[in-house]
Amino acid sequence: MIPEPGLTPDEALRRAHAWAQAAAAARTEQERAQAEQAAAYWSAQHRALLATVPAYGTIAVPAYGSPTADAPAYGASPVSWEAPRRRRGRAGRVVMFVLVLVVSVAVYLVDGLREEAVGDGALLPTEQEGAVPPPTVWEDPSPDATPSAAGTEAAWKAGEYAEPLPDPVPGATQTTPFLPDHPDPTAWLLALNPANEGVRVVFTDDPTLNCGMAHVAEHDAYATGSAGCFQPAHPTVLFVWWGEDSDPATKQVLLAHELSHMLQWWHEFDLVQSAVDSGFAEDEEWTHALETDATCRVLSWGGYSEAAADRTSSPCDTDDWSPTWLADRAADLGVVLRDY
């Protein structure tokens, strides 16, 4: 199957889904056979396009902005120990699985129709039987065809997969300032860059929201520890917590690290969601790469304490980081890049 010039995997999948729906609603055998052939063709185009997706390139300019090189460091008071932090809690995994379901539903419908046609004695072309001929009708089956299987990235950014925050948010409330000159962490992000408007920082020690709290509890680090979490289930929210004796430099790196995770999803969505679809959601090498990339990106912005970053559970432990470093790691692991 030779991919059609200019056709994207998303568009091919949308057409396959639309024609599968048309086949299910067909009133005559001829209409059904025609729709099934079209669905099979666009499904085959989708598979062919996925096989020819080019290697991932550079990342875009962060929409939320990033700290500038002259961002204040607020000193680097020594810290004896910082609690390790875990991310991607249960809620985050649920959202990722929802995205997988949405992306796969059209292929499931097409495959189901193929099995039904075989059961009825009809012959529907498959890859094993040879090339799938193009459909006799090229346009959409109806003007009401909707791209329900396309635009996953746009839907996620629009909040269609977001889980609502509980009201009120459970857990502790902030009793000590974030930084001496910026007691409110949300205001600090906005002061770094006006493009960070819309990002909400939520202080909580509830482990279902702040997935780093499990290690704080495990190590009884409530005095000096810090913990943060970004969950794809909450696309514009960063969850943080710090003990009363946590130093400013550590808290600064902590929040910037979580912002960096948010930017991974907002500006490398195809890459991180493709890793999920390729079966790497729980892979240790991939999760380590995500953590390393997040911290290295923070240090590349300038103005942050490298010593504080080294004390965290996710230091920048590579000497060759670049904006394409995470994409290179994904390629090494065998992530199949898709266009969402």
Report the first-to-last Cα separation within the chain, whole angstroms: 21
CA atoms within 13 A on the CB side of 57: 5
Nearest to 13 by CA among 116, 119, 109: 109
Kindly state whether residue 16 falls inside one of the protein's structural domains.
no
Kindly state whether residue 117 falls inside one of the protein's structural domains.
no
Kindly state whether residue 24 falls inside one of the protein's structural domains.
no
Instruction: Count Cβ atoms within 10 A of the Cβ of residue 195 and give its class: 0-12 exposed, 13-18 middle, 19 or more buried.
Output: middle
Residue 255 neighbours by CB distance under 10 Å = 25
Q: Would residue 106 be called left, alpha or beta, if left means φ above 0 and alpha means ψ between -120 and 50 degrees? A: alpha
What's the confidence (pLDDT) of residue 257? 95
Residue 308's φ and ψ, nearest 5 degrees, are -65, -40
What's the confidence (pLDDT) of residue 39? 80
Q: Which domain holds residue 183?
A: 90-99+152-323
What's the confidence (pLDDT) of residue 230? 95
Number of domains in the chain: 1
What's the confidence (pLDDT) of residue 229? 95
What's the confidence (pLDDT) of residue 270? 92
Q: Please report, as a single letter, which amino acid is at residue 69.
A: A
Kindly state whether residue 146 falls inside one of the protein's structural domains.
no
What's the confidence (pLDDT) of residue 144? 55
Reported as a single tens digit per residue, the pLDDT across 34-45 is 888 888 888 778
Kindly state whether residue 191 falls inside one of the protein's structural domains.
yes
What's the confidence (pLDDT) of residue 328? 94
Bridge partner residues of 3 (DSSP): none
Low-confidence ranges of the chain (pLDDT < 70): 1, 51-132, 137-138, 142-150
Q: Are 251 and 179 in contact (CB under 8 A)?
A: yes
What pTM, to 2 d.p., does this model score?
A: 0.61
Reported as a single tens digit per residue, the pLDDT across 107-147 is 333 344 334 433 433 333 333 345 667 777 667 776 554 44
Kindly state whether residue 273 falls inside one of the protein's structural domains.
yes
Structure tokens at 226: 């810090």
Kindly state whether residue 2 falls inside one of the protein's structural domains.
no
Q: Are 147 and 260 in contact (CB under 8 A)?
A: no
Kindly state whether residue 248 falls inside one of the protein's structural domains.
yes
SS3 for 160? coil
